[in-house]
Amino acid sequence: MPYDDQGDYPVGYAKPPRHSRFVKGQSGNPRGRPPGAKNLKTLLNKALNERVTVTEHGGRRKITKREAIVTQLVNGSAKGDLKAIHILLEMLRDIEGHAEPDHDRFTEADAQILQRIRARLSGATE
């Protein structure tokens, strides 16, 4: 940056001289996130992808913790655990909610019903 020889820039509180504003090679946030620090998503994925040994049907095999959690959740739901059923149904709604509906299977009556539901949810009157 050019020096302030003309003096057209006011120097004062919170306005350092242009030539000393930024030091070459110095980070703008020297006390920021250290290199190699991982965020929560990375740590969670790493922990869920660790392999554990499980015993099924008299045999041992290695699966990821993610698979073990899903298996336990489904087994708990099958046994009638209401909390597990609720969690599983929420997960299924999330998964199925991302899928686009197949509009070819909708009839005209279905389209009218969907339009009424959308209007009701948005607060508009018919």
9 SS3 class: coil
**pLDDT 10s digits, 50-70:** 999 999 889 999 999 999 999
Dihedral of CA atoms 44, 46, 47, 50 in degrees, nearest 10, equals 150
Is residue 124 very low, low, confident or very high in pLDDT (cuts 50, 70, 90)? low
- Distance CA(52)–CA(64), nearest Å, equals 6
The reported pLDDT for the residue numbered 125 is: 58
Residue scoring higher pLDDT (5 or 80): 80
Average pLDDT score over residue span 67-75: 96
Q: How many CA atoms lie within 13 A of 5 on its CB side?
A: 3
Q: Is the pLDDT of residue 104 over 60?
A: yes
- Distance CA(60)–CA(55), nearest Å, equals 4
